[in-house]
Amino acid sequence: MSDKRAIIAEALLDGADPRERLLAAGASPKTADYEMGRAEKDPLFQAAARLRRQIAKRDWTLRLHGQLAAVRADWPAIPRIERIDPACFFTEFYSANRPVVLTGLVDHWPALEKWTLDYLEATVGDAVVELQGERDSAADYELAKDRHRRMSPMHRLISAVRGVEASNNFYVTAYNDNANKQALARLWDDLGPVPILTQQGVRDGFFWFGPKGTLTPFHHDLTNNLLVQVMGRKKVLMVPSWEVGRMKNAVHCFSGREPSDWEGEDPALLPPRLECTIGPGDALFLPIGWWHHVEALDVSISMSFTNFAADNDFFSAYPADTRF
């Protein structure tokens, strides 16, 4: 049997009954009672038990949002709205922390017609870009993004995209933006203003490019985000922000959940999951704190934006000791 104190500590962390955990690990009832009696006299145990009660109360309070959301007629679908009025967007979705797919928002972008692999090769093929490479070499590729930084001429990357049916091994992401903003500058003229963004607009955006099969595991962002699909399709799975407890968040803004969890676990223990597919011209609003998992269903180019015409600074108050 594992260390009994460790079993008790893990049970407290998981919100489980420590005595039941000891019994499940092979302890006799007498031993379990002895260990619990000893632990309950420990000031650290007492503090941990008090913290567990506080977290349970906080989780209950957060879950109220889920009960209220379920009253809406469209729950749990993600609504699609054509040519939304900016004031309506900021009132009904931005300030309400609700996702929405916006259509008609970027129909005027030349990029929707222009951006093909041939066009990228002709326009920025000689540019040297940064990407996330060799992602298949490690399961923690998303957490250890610095380790996966690679440089490549754009034409070589395009050739790699053409050469695979599907892959998650290489992907140009927002994390590579500092290196790519200037390298891909010729593309920004193919974009246009977006009424819910600041006047600087699209030139503050982030470029995403990769083959079918690229993945971004479940995580939440530290800002509100607008994900605009330019080429190909992406499937997005989303879980509400108030489900932080059931999303097994242990490291920074990443989740221990996988999409397959919804196939093998008791539905009563799982958080609600929303799903949508976005294609060229669709803009998905990703509210801050909402967990999302993104999979490219085709060769894909996307732009994402955080420069909304509203306050979007939430990172300043983000707890420093969770940035690990």
Tokens found for residue 42: 């420990």
pLDDT by residue for the chain (324 residues), tens only, comes to 568 888 888 888 777 889 999 889 999 999 989 888 988 888 888 888 888 888 888 888 988 998 898 898 888 899 999 999 999 999 999 999 999 999 999 999 999 999 999 999 999 999 999 999 999 999 999 989 999 999 999 999 999 999 999 999 999 999 999 999 999 999 999 999 999 999 776 678 999 999 999 999 999 999 999 999 999 999 999 999 999 989 988 788 999 999 999 997 888 889 999 999 999 999 999 999 999 999 999 999 999 999 999 999 998 888 866 654
Identify whether residues 256 and 197 lie together within a single domain. yes
Q: What is the CA radius of gyration of the chain?
A: 23
Identify whether residues 21 and 129 lie together within a single domain. no
72, part of any domain: no
**How many C-beta atoms lie closer than 10 Å to residue 157's C-beta?**
25
Identify whether residues 277 and 197 lie together within a single domain. yes
CA dist 34 and 214 (Å) reads: 52
Q: For residue 93, what are the contacts with CB-CB under 8 A and spacing of at least 6?
A: 99, 100, 285, 287
Give the C-alpha distances (Å, rounded to integers) separating 130 from 70, 172, 175, 185, 215: 42, 7, 9, 14, 17
71, part of any domain: no
The whole domain housing 39 covers 4-66
Quick check: 247 and 72 in contact, CB under 8 A?
no
CA dist 5 and 12 (Å) reads: 11
Identify whether residues 51 and 85 lie together within a single domain. no
Domain boundary at 25, 43, 66, which? 66
**How many C-beta atoms lie closer than 10 Å to residue 10's C-beta?**
14
CA dist 70 and 91 (Å) reads: 19
Q: Where are the alpha helices (DSSP H) in 163-258?
A: 177-183
Of 51, 60, 27, nearest to 245 by C-alpha is: 60
pLDDT digits (tens, 9 = 90+) for 213-228: 999 999 999 999 999 9
Identify whether residues 211 and 259 lie together within a single domain. yes
73, part of any domain: no
Q: How many residues does the chain have?
A: 324
Q: How many helices (H) and strands (E) does the chain have?
A: 10, 15
CA dist 137 and 150 (Å) reads: 14
Domains identified in the chain, total number: 2
Degrees, nearest 5: CA angle 152-157-163: 145
pLDDT digits (tens, 9 = 90+) for 77-97: 999 999 999 999 999 999 999
Identify whether residues 149 and 296 lie together within a single domain. yes
CATH number at residue 144: 2.60.120.650
Identify whether residues 23 and 106 lie together within a single domain. no
Domain boundary at 13, 37, 66, which? 66
CA dist 151 and 130 (Å) reads: 5
Identify whether residues 138 and 230 lie together within a single domain. yes
Considering the entire predicted model, what is its pTM?
0.88
Identify whether residues 96 and 207 lie together within a single domain. yes
Identify whether residues 261 and 302 lie together within a single domain. yes
